[in-house]
Amino acid sequence: MAQFDVHRNKGALRESVPFVVLVQSAQFDGYRRRVVVPLVRRNLLPANTPTVGRRMNPTFEIDGIEVVLHPLDMVSVAVDQLGAPVVSLAEHGQRITDALDELLTRSWG
């Protein structure tokens, strides 16, 4: 498992959230859990969602499905709950990091 690997969601919400992306640094690979961010089906979000496609919620296409990064629902999952990676979003790593930075920034107080 590598940072920005995408895995199929095995959880109850897998229809609306078909994938998760691993965002945790390799520094913590020895730990038994991984921090992931849901990738929500774009067509399930309201058409006028103001943040989709912007810094906080970049969009990606995975297996022909348009998905949106949803950092506000970030969670940690046990390693054994993540199957083999489907694809890597490493080439989009800066966009994902920027989204997390937007979530965690202190500029808004």
The pLDDT value recorded for residue 83 is 85
Give the residues across from 11 on adjacent strands.
none
Query: Do residues 19 and 59 make contact, with C-beta atoms less than 8 angstroms apart?
Result: no
Task: Profile the chain (109 residues) by mean pLDDT over runs of 10 residues.
Answer: 94 93 95 96 83 86 96 95 94 96 76
User: What is the per-residue pLDDT across 19-39, written as a single tens digit (0 to 9) for each?
Assistant: 999 999 999 999 999 999 999
Length, in residues, of the chain:
109
pTM for the predicted model, two decimal places: 0.91
* 69, containing H or E segment: strand 65-69
CA distance 103 to 34: 18
What is the model's pLDDT at position 106? Answer: 67
